[in-house]
Structures are given as structure tokens and as C-alpha cells.
Amino acid sequence: MIALSPEVQAAKDAGQPIVALESTIITHGMPYPQNLETARRVEAEVRAHGAVPATIAILNGQIHVGLTDAELETLAQAKNVAKLSRADLAVCVATGGTGATTVAATMICAARAGIAVFATGGIGGVHKGAEDTFDISADLQELAQTPVTVVAAGAKAILDLPKTWEVLETLGVPVIAVGQDHLPAFWSRQSPLKAPLRLDTAAEIAKAHHMRVALDIPGGQLVANPIPAEAEIAAEVLAPIIAQATQDAEIHGITGKGVTPYLLQRIFELTEGRSLEANIALVLNNARLAAAIARELGTLA
Ligand code: PSU
Ligand code: MN
């Protein structure tokens, strides 16, 4: 059911570090052609930092771990691609379908392929208004049960961040801020929320991952890596834009899986593309750290 690309297979055989990458960010998180460019740049960044990238997607009922450039291009241009989370994965494979994997589904596929480190932009979480809608991403539950270290720039600031961190605490997920005491907020380096845990180096993060496995504690780690300073958008600038986008989603009756892609697209429009530039910068930054963690993990095995 799982097809490793030749590059990923060779890396596995040689015991080289591998970094998993998701595909929903390509199909639902960014517009074409920036999505394709970014996917290629993220893969190049992982390679430049001594690891092998494994972008994950389901193509014609097969789980692909590592995509060829042609597959990446097809996916980036495809319209109406399914967005697959934990609930959708088996149905998609069973019916021969094609779809992009969210953080949750990418973690499942990575773990099955023996990959422990995964880089993305931002995870899903508790949506604003969840007390009425119950809209909470399956990404959070996945972090509680699948042993993959996920490097993200925090949870997307479109979410209710305090509630997101509370749920992760309840689920026993280590949320580790990198190099600072406060949690980052995706497009901005700082949020007012103090991080539950802080580590400063890739080696420490790899050690913590290793120890969790050794202690037989299920689940992964969320590494909250702040966006580079030169790329950040101040939280005060974004707050009214996020409020507007959230209101527009409500007016247009957007619900369920459609909420996250709608908000990202609307914020892209309202910031005249600045949100996308920041998003690209933070994904590249996460790819670098994930490669370093994967390298360190290789020295512990
Ligand atoms: N981060 C981004 N863009 C995205 C996503 C994350 O910068 O498109 C995607 C991820 O795949 C994440 C998903 O898992 O959004 C969360 O969606 P939901 O809230 O429906 O679970
Ligand atoms: Mn949701």
C-alpha cells in the first residue's frame, strides 16, 4: 500500500535522515504556482541541510512517500483534490482515490514508513467559536498517538490559540518552543502565551523524541519554531484581518474542511500576498530545523 520513491527508498536503505512533508499545504494552503515553487524549495532546503525529503500524498489509491517532480507538479495544479485527514485515509486508498494529506494523515503515513520527523507550516487546532461549532482539527489527537516530531511555526493564528494549547496539554502532547520562552503565533514570532516547554537545539529535541520512544509513551512532539524575524507580520496588523476573514467565513456559511483553506485564501487577499510570503519563509525555516533534528536522531539510533 505504501510506495517509497526511489530517493526515499535509497535513503532508508542507507540509514540516512529523512524528513516527511505534507501535501495539503500544496493543494489547499497556497495558490498555484507559488505552491509548486514552495514545495520544490522546501524539498531543496531539506536536502541542503543533509536530509532527504519525503512529500506524502495518495495517488490513485496508493500512499506515496516521496513524490517525483512530475507528481508534485500534477498535484500542485490539480483542482478539487480531496483533503485527507485520519478519517479519510483508508477510504481513499480502498477506493483508488487521490488526495492530499493533512498533518494528521501525513503523520500516520510517515510513521508507517518509519519516518520520525515532519516539517510543515502550521498545524490545525481549535477553531475560534469551537464552543458552538466543535470544530477541532484531528491534528491534535494525532499528535497524542503517533510517534512523529512535527516542526511547525505554532498553530495557525486563525485558530483559538489558548484553547489549542489547552487541548494539547490535556492530550499529553509536549509543546516545545524553540529558543524562546513564549509560543510563536505562525505569522508572528511571539504570542502572549508562555510555552509549556522550551528547548534550544536540534540535538535536545532529538533526544527528547528518542526518550519518549524509549519510555514507551505514545504520541509525538510539537516543535513550535518561530518565523524568522525578517519575515514576520506583527500580531497587531493581523488581528483585524483575521477577524474580518473569520466573519466572512461565517457570512458565506463555510464549515468543516472548508474553513482552514477559506481563511488562508481570504487572509492572502486581505494582506495583498504578504501572508503567503511569510508562510513560505516559515515553512523553509521549519524544513531546516527538521533536517537538523532528523540528522541528530540518526546519531541516537
Ligand atoms: N498550515 C498551512 N496551510 C495549510 C495547513 C496547515 O500553512 O493548508 C493544513 C494542514 O494540512 C493542516 C490542515 O493539517 O490545514 C488543518 O485542517 P483542519 O483544520 O481541517 O484539520
Ligand atoms: Mn476542522
DSSP 61-85: TEEEES--HHHHHHHHH-SS-EEE-
What are the per-10-residue average pLDDT scores of the chain (301 residues)? 96 98 95 96 98 98 97 95 97 97 98 98 94 95 98 89 97 98 95 96 98 97 98 92 94 92 94 94 98 97 72
Q: Which domains does the chain possess? A: 2-300 (3.40.1790.10)
List ligand 1's pocket residues with C-beta within 6 A: 22, 24-25, 28-29, 85, 102-103, 120-124, 137-139, 156, 257, 260, 264, 279
Radius of gyration of the chain measured on its C-alpha atoms: 18
State the pLDDT at residue 1.
87
Which ligand has the minimum distance to the alpha carbon of residue 141?
1
Helix (H, G, I), strand (E, B) or coil at 254: coil
Ligand 1, atom 11: closest residue by C-alpha:
102
pTM for the predicted model, two decimal places: 0.96
Atom of ligand 1 nearest to the CA of 120: 1
Task: Report the alpha-carbon distance of residue 2 to residue 116 in Å, rounded.
Answer: 16
Which ligand lies nearest the alpha carbon of 153? Answer: 1
The residues that are catalytic are 22, 156
Residue 148: which of 59, 218, 64, 49 has the closest Cα? 218
Report CA(18)–ligand 1 centroid distance (Å): 22
pLDDT in the model for residue 177: 98
DSSP 167: H
At 156 the pLDDT is 79
Cell numbers describing residue 186:
505562525
Q: How far does residue 50's CA lie from ligand 1's centre (Å)?
A: 26
Give the nearest ligand 1 atom to 256 CA. Answer: 20
Q: How far apart are CA 119 and CA 21, in angstroms?
A: 6
pLDDT score recorded for residue 154: 86
Closest ligand to residue 268's CA: 1
Residue 281 contacts residue 227 (beta carbons within 8 Å): yes
The per-residue pLDDT for 235 is: 87
Pocket test for ligand 1, best of 102, 137, 148 (most atoms within 8 A of CB): 102
Which pLDDT does position 291 carry in this prediction?
Answer: 98
Cα(177) to centroid of ligand 2, in Å?
24
Q: How far is the CA of 160 from the centre of ligand 1 (A)?
A: 14
Distance 273 CA to ligand 1 centre (A): 18
Which protein residue has the closest C-alpha to ligand 1 atom 17? Answer: 124
pLDDT of residue 249: 94
- Element at 198 (helix H, strand E): strand 197-199
